[in-house]
Every structure is written in C-alpha cells, then in structure tokens.
Amino acid sequence: MSEKFSPTLRIGDLNDFIAPSQACIVSLKGLKANTTTKQDKTENQEKVALPIKSSQTDPVKISLKDCLACSGCITSAETVMLEKQSLEEFLSNLESGKAVLVSLSPQSRASLAVHFGLSPSQVFGKLTTFFKSLGVKAIFDTSCSRDLALVEACNEFITRFRYHHLTDVEGQNSSLPMISSACPGWVCYAEKTLGSYILPYISSVKSPQQAIGATIKHHICKKMGFKPDNVYHVTVMPCYDKKLEAARDDFVFSVEPQGEAGPDDAGLRITEVDSVLTTGEVLELIQLKSVDFKALEELPLDRLLTNVDEGGHIYGVNGSSGGYAETIFRHAAKVLFQKEIEGPLDFKTVRNSDFREVNLEVEGKTVLKFALCYGFRNLQNIVRKIKIGKCDYHFLEVMACPSGCLNGGGQIKPRAGQSAKDLIQSLEKVYMENILIANPFENPLIKSLYEEWLGEPGSEKAVRHIHTAYHPLVKSITAELHNW
C-alpha cells in the first residue's frame, strides 16, 4: 500500500477536512526497523503499519491505541492498515475451515453500481454470486442492522427528550442534543480530542456495522448452526475508519470454551466484526480474480438478514448516511406530538450544503429542531456551541465526511476526467434506485429479532448487545512527542 502515499503524509493530501495540513505526530527519527510478526502480537495490543516510505525496509509499527491520538489523522485511516484488515487475511480465512459471512453496506453497493453501470440490486445479486464462488457461506445486508439501530436510536431519543423536559435541565447537564454515533471518525475525534464533556451527548446505539456484528455473533450464527468462534464475519464498508471501529475492545466478548477448560482458559475472545473490506478493496478483489463482474449471474439474496421483500425488492429509509435525522424526526413527531408527517421532509440549507436543518412547529412554537452536520468544519462549529451551552438542536446527524457516507474514503475513486462533485451526484441518484421506503419499526426482520432475541427496544438485552459506551482517551503519545 505504501506506493499510494507520498513520503510525508499530510492530512490535506487525504482531503479529510479537519484542519490545515499537519504531519502525523509519530516521527520516524531514531526508530529502528520493526520486524514484529503476527505471532509477536499480544492479545490486547494490535499492531498497525504506517505505510510511510523511509530508509527502512519495514513499515513503522505503532499500537492501535496510539493511532488517532491527534487531530492530524483522525479520519486518515488510509494511513493505518490493520494486519487483520486486508484482502490477504480475508482470502486466508476462506481456507481456514471457518464459516465466512459477509455483510454489505448500501453505500458500497451504490459505489460499485456507479462504477459498473448497474443498479444497486443488480450489484447485490452479482456480489452474492461472486462471494459465494469464493466460499462465503452467506451475504447479508447492513440496511437490516441499520433499521435495528434506528429503532433503538428512536427509543433512546424519546427517552432523552422526555428526561430533558421532565427535569427542565439546560446546558452542560442536558441530555440533548443527541448526536448520532454511526460515524467512527466522529467518535474517535470525540474520544481523543474533545474529552468527556461531549461524550454524554453521543447516542449509545452501535453503528449498523457493529449492530449486524452483534446480531450475527450472538444470535444468527446459532440459527445457522455455527458456533460464534467458528464464524469469520466480514463487512464491506465505504470507510477505512470502519476497520478501526471493528477493532475496538468494546466490540469483543468472551464465551466459555467448549470441553475441558485448562487453568489459563478464561474464555474465548470473540470479535463482532472480524474484518472490514472497503469498497475499493472489493473492486481490487474482483480485478484480482479476473472476473467479468457485469456478466455474472445474480443469485437470490440471503433473506435471513437482508431487507428484501417477496418480489426481490430492497427496502430501506431516506438518507444516504443512514437516515438517522429523518427517521428519528418522524418518529418523535408522531410519538411526542401526535404529528404524522407525510411526504419528504423540508431540510433547509443553513451554512452550506453539508449543514441542513428541519423543524417541527406546534401552535407557532418550534418543538423539534434537527440538523444534518457533515464534515469537520461544520462539526467543530456545533461542538463549540454545545460546549458553551448555546446549541438549540435536539438531534444532530453527524458524519465526518462532507456529503456523508457516500463520500467515504474507502469508496471507489472518480474516473479520469470525472470530478468528485459529479461522482457524488451520481452516487446520490443511484443510491435510492429500486429502494422501497419503509418504516424500520415495520421491518419484519426487525420484529422477529425482538421477538426471538431482544425483547423490546431499550430492553436490558438490547442495551447489552446493541448499545455501547465511549471513553475519553488521554493523548499519551502526544504528551511525549514535542517539536519533532
């Protein structure tokens, strides 16, 4: 991967929209070549490679906890390639005897659809054929887990809103605004840079990636007849930061070992998502296998965790970054104010196309105020308002990338002569092709997950499996590195 990067990686080169260009805090001065192998890794410390050219023959290694320790590369996960997050690791696990399951994001399907000149539903069928030809057992749809996350997020917002008004709290002690938690770049930035004051505002609901990981490892694999430790779960995502999200300690759980346990067997550590491939890496895999993708037949979709109806139509929600603001707004209007909103929401541009808001008025008073906030420039303005207690929004759908998840760093890049703006417009148009808009609460798969497994939204079991926690992290490495 190193040939894809300039000798000195700077944030501006990767278009991460956080701040003026600044180099990574980790200096190459005085560091010896690291020859650590996979066998040398400890259980609690993954090793990652910075693909930066130097006089050394081996890549510099730093610990995952040191990575993202500064704002210089908060969404520059292209600079960090986890050893377990690669095509090679994916292909090797196909030969391991484990049951390999793949979950596809709708943003990745849209990117591949634009690239190949197909519809997202065609891409889904052809990817099902392609992955199963490699030995994958099943291909699922993170639109399904997104609906699960949306149901939990709706329930969480209603609880926060009622608490907020019941206690009449304001400012720093308020439970609002609730901020979406699906973007790992934003979450990393909040934990590493903003400290504890912002974390209580972030929704505790896991991202769709981690929600489907928990669903597969805790529930679906049993229905399929697999043990969690014998399942290798891969997601296909538009974002490199999803690799880092999958590696969080919060998304690892233990199961009791089968058979006779020895004195050192405290339980098997199971990861909800074992590996993440970006859209671009899937394209690379297709090219590596010399497959004529457009000529592939379209196998029927696996319906166990896929938003598809009897006619084969894929259904979902409005919003190319998950539809959090729109779905929660409609639900809150109905539950809190008995307002059934028909037709599209009227999002108004405030500062720029990446900052839009929608309000609900009842008897001349604004009772709900939601916003879409994409890109770090907009995000930092909102963060400042929250810090001083001057933010009047009830909910914020935050994404680190301008234009949201369709513009993730792991998506297929523009063709020669194609502008990034033109590509985004094509992606936004294709994303909603063949999509039947449906209420997540009416999704039959989501209903069955609650009936068979979780009980009800916000239940103890739902909180245990579909919610998470955040941790303010000290920049330990930053404190030691001065004036490199």
* Boundaries of domain holding 328: 148-205+317-407+432-442
Sign, Cα dihedral of 349, 354, 357, 358 = positive
pLDDT given at position 314: 86
On the question of pLDDT at 478 being above 50, the answer is no
- Tell me phi and psi for residue 325, to 5 degrees: -60, -45
Where helices occur in 21-119 by DSSP H, the ranges are 87-94, 106-116
Q: What's the pLDDT tens digit per position in 2-52?
A: 333 333 333 333 333 333 334 444 443 444 434 333 333 333 333 333 333
For residues 329 and 401, state if they share a domain.
yes
For residues 223 and 361, state if they share a domain.
no
Element (H, E) at 457: none
For residues 270 and 328, state if they share a domain.
no
Cβ contact 124:104 at 8 Å: yes
For residues 127 and 225, state if they share a domain.
yes
| CATH number for position 134 | 3.40.50.1780
For residues 193 and 223, state if they share a domain.
no
pLDDT given at position 255: 77
For residues 324 and 295, state if they share a domain.
no
Between 6 and 151, whose confidence is greater?
151
Residue 162 resides in a domain:
yes
Residue 476 resides in a domain:
no
For residues 298 and 332, state if they share a domain.
no
Residue 362 resides in a domain:
yes
Q: What's the pLDDT tens digit per position in 218-266?
A: 999 999 999 999 999 999 999 988 988 998 989 998 876 654 444 444 5
Residue 368 resides in a domain:
yes
Reported as a pLDDT band with limits 50, 70 and 90, residue 339 is: very high
- 181 conformational bin, left if phi > 0, alpha if psi -120 to 50, beta if neither: alpha
Residue 53 resides in a domain:
no
Residue 62 resides in a domain:
no
Q: Give the residue carrying structure tokens 């001349």.
A: 364
Assessment of whether the complete model's pTM goes beyond 0.85: no
For residues 192 and 212, state if they share a domain.
no
Residue 391 resides in a domain:
yes
For residues 185 and 99, state if they share a domain.
no
73 to each of 136, 240, 245, 470, how far by Cα in Å?
Answer: 34, 12, 15, 20
Residue 240 resides in a domain:
yes
On the question of pLDDT at 305 being above 50, the answer is yes
For residue 183, the one-letter residue type is C
Count of domains for the chain: 2
For residues 356 and 280, state if they share a domain.
no
- Which residues are paired to 367 by β-bridges? none
For residues 156 and 135, state if they share a domain.
no
For residues 223 and 306, state if they share a domain.
yes
Find the helix packing angle between 279-288 and 106-116, rounded to 10°: 50
| CATH number for position 200 | 3.40.950.10
